[in-house]
C-alpha cells in the first residue's frame, strides 16, 4: 500500500488529525485521481461493513467450553531431586577421602605400647599429593560426573518423549 491509500484509509476510518483531514479534503476537491481512489476505497469499506461475520452456534460454543472444563488443569512444575543423584555425588567425594585416610593409616607406624596406643601419622604429604595426582583426581571426578549427567539427561529425555508422544 502506498501513502495515498494509507492516508485515505485513515480518513475513511476517522483516524486522522484535523489538519490532516483538512489537507485530504482539499486534495479530494482538487485532484480527480485522488478522488477516484477515494471512491474505490469507500466502496470497499461499505462492502466490508455489509459482511456478516460468521459466529459458531451456541451449542457448539457450549460443547467446546464443556470439553475445556473436562481438561485437567496444568500442574505447577515442582522439581524434586532424586536421592540417587545425591548419593552418587556423595560417593564420588567420600570414596577418595576414605581411600586417602585408609592409605595414611596403612602407611603409619602402628607400634602399640602398654601405656597408650600410638598412631603415627607422620608421612610426607608432598610425596603423595603431586600436581599430577591432583590433576588426575580432578579429571577422573569430572569424567564420572559427565558420565552420570549424560545418563541422567538421557533418562529424562526418553521420559519426556514417552510422555509427549
Q: Where are the domains of the chain?
A: 3-52, 83-164
Q: What is the pLDDT of residues 107-131, one digit of tens each?
A: 887 765 556 667 777 777 777 788 8
pLDDT of residue 126: 73
**HSE (CB half, 13 Å, CA atoms) of 99?**
8
pLDDT at position 60, please?
A: 87
Look at the block and give the residue holding cell 457450549. 62
Calpha distance 62→72 (Å, rounded): 18
Residues of the chain with pLDDT below 70 are 1-2, 111-117, 159-165
- Beta-carbon neighbour count of residue 24 at 10 Å? 19
C-alpha cell at 65: 467450553
pLDDT of residue 5: 87
How much is the pLDDT for 127? 76
Note the pLDDT of residue 3.
82
Report whether 99 contacts 91 (CB < 8 A): no
3-state SS class at 109: strand
CA atoms of 38 and 36, how far apart (whole Å): 5
0.85 surpassed by pTM: no
Amino acid at each position: 500500500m502506498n501513502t495515498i491509500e494509507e492516508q485515505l484509509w485513515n480518513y475513511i476510518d476517522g483516524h486522522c488529525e484535523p489538519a490532516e483531514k483538512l489537507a485530504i479534503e482539499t486534495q479530494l476537491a482538487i485532484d480527480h485521481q485522488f478522488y477516484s481512489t477515494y471512491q474505490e476505497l469507500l466502496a470497499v469499506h461499505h462492502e466490508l461493513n455489509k459482511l456478516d461475520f460468521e459466529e459458531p452456534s451456541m451449542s457448539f460454543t457450549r460443547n467446546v467450553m464443556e470439553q475445556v472444563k473436562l481438561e485437567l488443569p496444568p500442574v505447577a512444575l515442582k522439581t524434586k531431586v532424586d536421592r540417587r543423584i545425591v548419593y552418587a555425588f556423595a560417593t564420588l567425594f567420600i570414596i577418595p577421602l576414605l581411600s586417602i585416610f585408609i592409605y595414611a593409616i596403612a602407611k603409619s607406624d602402628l607400634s602399640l605400647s602398654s601405656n597408650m596406643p600410638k598412631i603415627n601419622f607422620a608421612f610426607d604429604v608432598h610425596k603423595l599429593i603431586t600436581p599430577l595426582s591432583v590433576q588426575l583426581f580432578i579429571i577422573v571426578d569430572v569424567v564420572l560426573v559427565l558420565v552420570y549427567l549424560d545418563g541422567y539427561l538421557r533418562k529424562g529425555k526418553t521420559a519426556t518423549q514417552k510422555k509427549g508422544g
